[in-house]
Structure 1
């Protein structure tokens, strides 16, 4: 039974590692999205940092990406930036790729 137990532990460890990596990619993506939106809103560097953190926190409101999209779209619209849902979702996809690249290939 030890071979089976070892194999089970290996699968559990891999699952935990995969979940941790996915969480880190999502958090990095949200930070990058916050920086992207802050640039569009012409925020100062200090405001950009605070806003990026707020976008990361917004992701904890509900499962999925809708809470982040809603926050970004609402904040950009309120700041007078001409952006639509499709542009925000496109940025979300682009920043996901960038976040994955940054975490897999650290600089």
Structure 2
């Protein structure tokens, strides 16, 4: 019976590690997306850092990416940047690829 218990523990650990990695990749993606948006809005380096952190925090409001997209579209529109939801989604996808690549290269 210990073989099955060991195997179960190994799968649980693997699942936990995968979930943690996905969380880190998503947080990195959101930070990169915040930096991208800040550059479009012409923010200073200090404002860029604060804005990127705010984008990461915005992702905790609800499940999925809608909260982040809504924040970016609203903020960028308020700043006079002509962007729509599909444009932000495209940037989100691009930053996800970059974030994933960063984690792969770090290992």
TM-score by length of 2: 0.98
| 2:61 is equivalent to residue 61 of structure 1 | yes
State the Cα deviation string for residues 66-97 of structure 1 (Å, max 9, x = none): 00000000000000001111110000000000
Aligned CA RMSD, in angstroms, stands at 1.0
User: What residue number does 1:3 align with?
Assistant: 3
* Cα drift, residue 103 of structure 1: 1.0
Q: Please, which runs of 5 or more residues in structure 1 have no aligned partner?
A: none
Q: Distance in 2 between matches of 1:95 and 1:53?
A: 15
Q: 1:58-97 maps to which residues of 2 (within 5 A)? A: 58-97=58-97
Q: Distance in 1 between matches of 2:99 and 2:29?
A: 5
Q: How many residues align?
A: 107
User: What residue number does 1:17 align with?
Assistant: 17
TM-score by length of 1: 0.98
Q: Please, which runs of 5 or more residues in structure 2 have no aligned partner?
A: none
Q: Distance in 1 between matches of 2:104 and 2:52?
A: 21
